[in-house]
């Protein structure tokens, strides 16, 4: 008899398995359809011994001391502040757009005050701001939008930015200084020995049983458990009762090259050239020393594993119909990106899982009843 059956060994499932086993003393069975733990954060040595991220680059960053300290129980860290270049008109330019981006692109010599005036002169007034196009053109104008954002977004999402919610491009800051870091969070680190090792440490407990390459639907009626925590696609759980929630997927092409360095930055974006959106070189991320280097090309696809919920009003309405079914299912909790149909960063999924555990713990200790609905991730 297990106290909990947890579907999915990514961040949400693994955090909850660890807390329920270690803190609450519960017996947990965690299953995953994939042959490995760690979800999309899974990393492994390739044939040359270079640590690579199977599902594209995962860069940990958070402003939450609680989340950082929680994960620090399971890993040492390597300080890493991510940087990205974009190839535009034959030049490699910093993204997010900053002072150097504009000066080098247009051959200018602006200071921060001059850049603010430049943006004010080219920005297009949009009221109200509804779409991703609105966000960008109202901030940096039409030309920078076309050069840096429109093509990349159309490749990534299969839709024009004018068809997408404002949240897609609102995630990317615009700076008037020379700060070239992709993120501005307080805590920016990479697990010293990789994500998979961190997950192995998290799940290393006598109360946790792990079964991989297992479809929960094939074992849920033959395994005894009291409650289920589900981290998969919410529409799939309900047998697509209202139709399928759309996602964008990715195809990854990994390569190893017989040289120490392949490109000038950890990630180079290609907003207007090539079918792929970006190239990642993993040794920047991991700090590994090796005579060879491994990279990955990312090709957005309409079909494949679900990676990115598509932020459009009609999709939000469909998700709301599925979320309404959640509270009708006692003894079942939905948590994580797929179960919430929201694009959460890694730290946000950890925060969501810790929040859910706090409520389950309260129930275990005789507190109020826990609503089964997926909980909002911390912002």
User: Is it the case that residue 377 has pLDDT exceeding 90?
Assistant: no
Write phi, then psi, for 366 (nearest 5 degrees).
Answer: 95, 20
Residue 53 in any domain: the answer is: yes
Residue 300 in any domain: the answer is: yes
Q: What local confidence, expressed as pLDDT, does residue 367 receive?
A: 55
Identify the band that residue 327 occupies on the pLDDT scale cut at 50, 70 and 90. Answer: confident
Q: What local confidence, expressed as pLDDT, does residue 370 receive?
A: 44
Structure tokens at 221: 């009626």
Write phi, then psi, for 279 (nearest 5 degrees).
Answer: -125, 130
Q: What local confidence, expressed as pLDDT, does residue 329 receive?
A: 82
pLDDT tens-digit readout, 133-188: 999 999 999 999 999 999 999 999 999 999 998 888 877 889 999 999 999 999 99
Element (H, E) at 325: helix 313-326
Region 124-129: what's the mean pLDDT?
93
Q: What is the DSSP letter of 273?
A: S
Is residue 290 domain-shared with residue 147, that is, in the same domain? no
Is residue 276 domain-shared with residue 166, that is, in the same domain? no
**C-alpha to C-alpha distances, 70 to 15, 19, 153, 303, nearest whole angstrom:** 9, 10, 34, 35
Region 76-84: what's the mean pLDDT?
98
Is residue 231 domain-shared with residue 315, that is, in the same domain? yes
Is residue 288 domain-shared with residue 229, that is, in the same domain? no
Q: What local confidence, expressed as pLDDT, does residue 366 receive?
A: 79
- CATH classification of the domain holding 20: 3.40.50.720
Is residue 346 domain-shared with residue 213, that is, in the same domain? yes
Question: What is the spatial distance between Cα 160 and Cα 157, in angstroms, rounded to a whole number?
Answer: 8
Residue 379 in any domain: the answer is: no
Percentage of residues of the chain with pLDDT beyond 90: 92
Residue 285 in any domain: the answer is: yes
pLDDT tens-digit readout, 193-208: 999 999 999 999 999 9
Q: Quick one: which of 341, 337, 367, 369 has its CA closest to 353?
A: 337
Token pair 């390459």 in the structure block, residue? 213
> Looking at 263, 293, 308, which one is the last position of a domain?
308
Least confidently predicted of 274-288, 319-333, 355-369: 355-369
Question: What is the spatial distance between Cα 135 and Cα 21, in angstroms, rounded to a whole number?
Answer: 44
Identify the band that residue 372 occupies on the pLDDT scale cut at 50, 70 and 90. Answer: very low
pLDDT tens-digit readout, 5-58: 999 999 999 999 999 999 999 999 999 999 999 999 999 999 999 999 999 999
User: Is it the case that residue 88 has pLDDT exceeding 50?
Assistant: yes
pLDDT tens-digit readout, 221-236: 999 999 999 999 999 9
Is residue 236 domain-shared with residue 334, that is, in the same domain? yes
User: Is it the case that residue 269 has pLDDT exceeding 50?
Assistant: yes
Residue 18 in any domain: the answer is: yes
Q: What local confidence, expressed as pLDDT, does residue 371 receive?
A: 43
Is residue 160 domain-shared with residue 217, that is, in the same domain? no
Is residue 238 domain-shared with residue 228, that is, in the same domain? yes
Question: In the chain, how many domains are there?
Answer: 3
Structural domain of 132: 97-170
Residue 175 in any domain: the answer is: no
**C-alpha to C-alpha distances, 182 to 5, 111, 146, 291, nearest whole angstrom:** 38, 20, 20, 27
Is residue 14 domain-shared with residue 49, that is, in the same domain? no
């Amino acid at each position: 008899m297990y106290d909990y059956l947890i579907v999915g060994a990514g961040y949400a499932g693994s955090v909850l398995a660890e807390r329920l086993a270690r803190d609450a003393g519960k017996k947990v069975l965690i299953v995953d359809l994939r042959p490995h733990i760690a979800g999309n954060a899974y990393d492994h040595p390739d044939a040359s011994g270079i640590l690579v991220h199977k599902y594209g680059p995962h860069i940990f960053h958070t402003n939450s001391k609680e989340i950082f300290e929680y994960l620090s129980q399971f890993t040492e860290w390597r300080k890493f502040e991510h940087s990205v270049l974009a190839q535009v008109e034959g030049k490699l330019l910093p993204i997010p757009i900053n002072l150097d981006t504009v000066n080098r692109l247009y051959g200018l010599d602006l200071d921060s005050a001059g850049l603010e005036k430049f943006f004010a002169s080219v920005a297009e007034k949009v009221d109200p701001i509804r779409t991703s196009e609105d966000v960008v053109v109202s901030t940096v104008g039409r030309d920078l939008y076309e050069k840096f954002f429109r093509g990349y977004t159309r490749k990534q999402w299969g839709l024009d930015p004018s068809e997408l919610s404002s949240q897609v491009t609102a995630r990317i800051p615009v700076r008037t200084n020379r700060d070239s870091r992709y993120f501005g969070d307080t805590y920016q680190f990479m697990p010293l020995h990789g994500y998979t090792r961190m997950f192995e440490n998290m799940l290393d407990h006598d109360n946790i049983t792990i079964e991989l390459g297992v479809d929960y639907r094939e074992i849920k009626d033959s395994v005894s458990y009291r409650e289920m925590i589900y981290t998969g696609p919410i529409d799939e759980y309900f047998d697509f009762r209202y139709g399928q929630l759309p996602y964008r997927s990715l195809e990854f092409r990994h390569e190893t090259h017989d040289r120490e360095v392949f490109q000038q930055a950890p990630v180079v974006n290609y907003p207007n050239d090539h079918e792929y959106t970006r190239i990642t070189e993993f040794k920047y991320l991991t700090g590994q020393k090796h005579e060879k280097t491994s990279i990955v090309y990312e090709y957005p696809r309409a079909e494949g594993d679900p990676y990115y919920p598509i932020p459009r009003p009609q999709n939000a309405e469909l998700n709301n119909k599925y979320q309404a079914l959640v509270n009708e299912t006692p003894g079942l909790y939905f948590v994580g990106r797929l179960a919430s149909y929201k694009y959460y960063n890694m730290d946000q999924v950890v925060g969501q899982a810790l929040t859910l555990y706090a409520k389950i713990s309260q129930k275990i200790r005789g507190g109020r009843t826990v609503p089964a609905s997926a909980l909002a991730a911390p912002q």
